[in-house]
Chain A
Amino acid sequence: MQLKLEGVWFGYRNPVMVLRGVDVVFRSGEVTMVLGRSGSGKTTLLKVAAGLLRPSRGRVIAVDDSGEPLSRPKIGYIPQGIGVVGNMTVMENVLLGALDRNRGLGTLLGRFPREEVERAEEILEQLGLGGMENELVRELSGGQRQRVAIARSLMHGAELVLADEFVSQLDPLTTIEVLELIRSLKARGIGFAITTHDVHLVPRYGDKVAVLKDGKIVMERLASMTSPEELVEAL
């Protein structure tokens, strides 16, 4: 799957435009690092890509591998504050990923089909959260919450996960753990778009980097073809 932003303009209040003609492509099976200074519009860019904000000009389209447009692309969005529901358990949070395919009274009453629960258990196991199903999410550590958020996206069947400042609040070791996890998920065909202002993460974990500046993507290339120094220059 590919998610394409084509000539996207967006402003919260006219006439101030935060995004001024953004062109960028996020692909499944690939980690794209979106780099930009604070206030450059990284969060805004992800929200537009996720469909939470409607571009005032340009368009966002999802296409499958043969180029056919997808009306309901499987996208996960992990906001800066992780966006998990603190007052619910790990299992309940993960099951939220199954809500779109299980609409109706049953799930509103808290009853999910058996196979969904089993699937959720499997995913939690894979992400190293086995045995934590009944823990309240608000009592988890930052790294564990992030895993819950990933688990929810996997449960949803997301082919692309848009993650805002995903590792900015973690300590260095946990950051590496989470990024290693993302690398292993990439091998399963899942793509990530991760915003950051840490240029050093790009070469190690990104396949591609896109630098956002003055409302435009001023640089987009393979992560291996660039260096932290060059990125700092571009910022």
Chain B
Amino acid sequence: MTTTPHPVRGQRPPVGLAVQLAIAVVTLSLLIRFGAFDPAVVARFGNLPAFVAGMLPPDPRPLPTLVMSMIETVMIAFAGTSIAVALSVPLALLSTRSLFGDAVTVPLRFVLSVIRTVPSIIWALIFVVTVGFGPLAGVLGTAMYSTGYLSKLLYEAFDAVDREVLEAIRVMRVGKLAEMRYVVLPEAANYVLSQSLFMFEYNVRASAILGLVGAGGIGFYILAYVQVLDYRSLSTALIVLLAFVLAVDFVSSRVRKRFLPD
């Protein structure tokens, strides 16, 4: 391939100076309103070094408990994501415009968008009320939000499947199920896998705070350590969290490499 030389245009910012200034002014006035320049507040920034010093060294004693609760967090994310994938694939197929008419896709897409408007932690709170404290509420909350989110990613991928391929099959009158099974799913399979992995990685991070509402996992301890001012245990918890997140990202990048071409 050859490239034709073309004049390099000046790198102009996408919005004009006036807009940038306006955004800066609004942000600044918000900070003032929230008290960022209140002398009493500014003085409290001086506590930061003391706070950090208070976190060191990390306390190794709660390590076994924290590792177990972090494993629970990962399990919540895993179970919640798996349920979401299982629900999202059929829901996304039903929301695909090249397969179903507006009478099906429009209401379904609306319901899915309502579901994903509510974050996992609020869903978890609702499930804590209905099924009680513990990881089950976390799993259900994660599954709810992820179903709303993943379905959207998937129906967009299904919609993007080449219509011509679908039409060539449709002429042979094979039925909708066969169209899904033999055209839409195989053509979008890589995308389904990569988005499911992405959702899992995201959920591992998001599940770390589910404990704040009593829905299981390491978040319970993080909240507790902050409340009792046990900053050395808090730093242990953060290290465990970081280690697991990195490990999960590593594993899922290996899965990607193994199953997805580039």
A: residues with CB less than 8 A from B are 47, 50-52, 72, 75-88, 92, 96-97, 99-100, 103, 107-108, 149, 152, 156
Chain A residue with Cβ nearest B169? A96
* Any A CB within 8 A of the CB of B32: no
Which of B165, B167, B168, B190: most chain A CB closer than 10 A? Answer: B168
Contact among B172, B177, B189, B190 with A96 in the assembled complex (CB-CB below 8 Å): B172
User: In whole angstroms, how far apart are the Cα atoms of A99 and B175 in the complex?
Assistant: 9
Q: Which residues of A contact B162 (CB under 8 A)?
A: 81, 83
Q: Which residues of A contact B168 (CB under 8 A)?
A: 77-79, 83-84, 149, 152
A96-B164 in contact given A86-B187, A87-B187, A108-B181 (Cβ < 8 Å): no
Interface string of B150-167 (1 = CB under 8 A from A): 000000000000101101
B: residues with CB less than 8 A from A are 162, 164-165, 167-175, 177-178, 181-183, 186-187, 189-190
User: In whole angstroms, how far apart are the Cα atoms of A100 and B168 in the complex?
Assistant: 13
User: In whole angstroms, how far apart are the Cα atoms of A83 and B190 in the complex?
Assistant: 19
Chain B residue with Cβ nearest A86? B187
Chain B residue with Cβ nearest A153? B172
Question: Are the C-beta atoms of B178 and A103 separated by less than 8 Å?
Answer: yes
Listed A/B pairs (23) with beta-carbon separation below 8 Å: A51-B171, A52-B170, A76-B171, A76-B172, A77-B171, A79-B164, A79-B168, A80-B164, A81-B162, A83-B164, A83-B165, A83-B167, A83-B168, A83-B169, A85-B183, A85-B187, A87-B186, A87-B187, A87-B190, A96-B178, A99-B182, A100-B175, A108-B178
Question: Are the C-beta atoms of A84 and B165 separated by less than 8 Å?
Answer: yes
Question: Are the C-beta atoms of A85 and B173 separated by less than 8 Å?
Answer: no
The 10 A-B residue pairs whose C-beta atoms are closest, nearest first, are A83-B168, A79-B164, A99-B174, A77-B171, A87-B186, A50-B171, A83-B164, A83-B165, A81-B164, A99-B178
